[in-house]
Structure 1
């Protein structure tokens, strides 16, 4: 896979991955970025904040502040009811989508002169 294809795939799913992480529990930006960078979905925390801004603008996440008890107040993000519904729509589409893509790629591999028993 070329870097361009990988970047486009990541860009296409990163918002849904943020929604999925926030469905588990509210998180602050650094927590989210740790999960997403570890998975290779974003390059750094700096690329996360524009995503969070878009999600907030669309009403899918909301921000709130929470005292840490040991340091400064942190801004946390949580899923809104609209975000929960959007995540459910994505999950409903994602399974069949990945199954169809996987089947097509497997079929292409089998038919390829370099793959299968041809």
Structure 2
């Protein structure tokens, strides 16, 4: 098993959570999401992002509005719905619990390694 494959799967597993967090800060354009995710080293391409945004919209977690652009076609800006905010809050709780659990396991492993 290649470590790169495992790393990609770990990042994919938290992609939806990260996208909802980005959108939770206010109206956001898809290319700005891509830029932020890429700068955070969560590599994602348009072919992954757009279907995920559509799925989240169809689930009622986000909505969008079209905004006219002075330099081209109208842009679609995404926002969280009330249901999306509640969903993100629940995911946040799960993330914090999971991160604490993983950190506990890592610390125990490190402590064991230090005694050997």
**1:57-96 to 2 correspondences below 5 Å:** 57-96=58-97
Specify which of 106, 109, 116 is matched with residue 114 of structure 2: 116
> Aligned-pair distance for 1:29?
0.8
Task: State how far apart, in whole Å, the 1-side matches of 2:22 and 2:45 are.
Answer: 17
Secondary structure of 2:64 counterpart: strand
**Deviant stretches of 4+, over 4 Å:** none
* C-alpha distance in 2 between matches for 1:9 and 1:26: 27
In structure 2, C-alpha distance between the alignment counterparts of 1:29 and 1:3, rounded to whole Å: 26
More strand per residue: 2
How many residue pairs match? The answer is: 115
Q: Which residue of 1 aligns with 2:33?
A: 32
Unaligned runs of 5+ in 2: none
Q: How far, CA to CA, are the matches of 1:38 and 1:45 in structure 2?
A: 15
Indicate conservation of the 8 Å contact 1:42/1:48, yes or no.
Answer: no
Provide the aligned C-alpha RMSD in A: 1.6
Contact 1:20–1:87 under 8 Å retained in 2: yes
Give the gaps of 5 or more residues in structure 1. none
TM-score, normalised via structure 1 length: 0.88
Q: Deviation per CA, 1:69-93, whole angstroms, max 9, x where unpaired?
A: 3432101111011110000001111
Structure 1: distance between partners of 2:54 and 2:6: 25
Aligned runs of 1:15-26 on 2, under 5 Å?
Answer: 15-26=16-27
Alpha-carbon shift at residue 3 of structure 1 (Å): 1.5
TM-score by length of 2: 0.89
**Cα distance in 1, alignment partners of residues 39 and 23 from structure 2:** 16
C-alpha separation in 2, matches of 1:13 and 1:43:
12
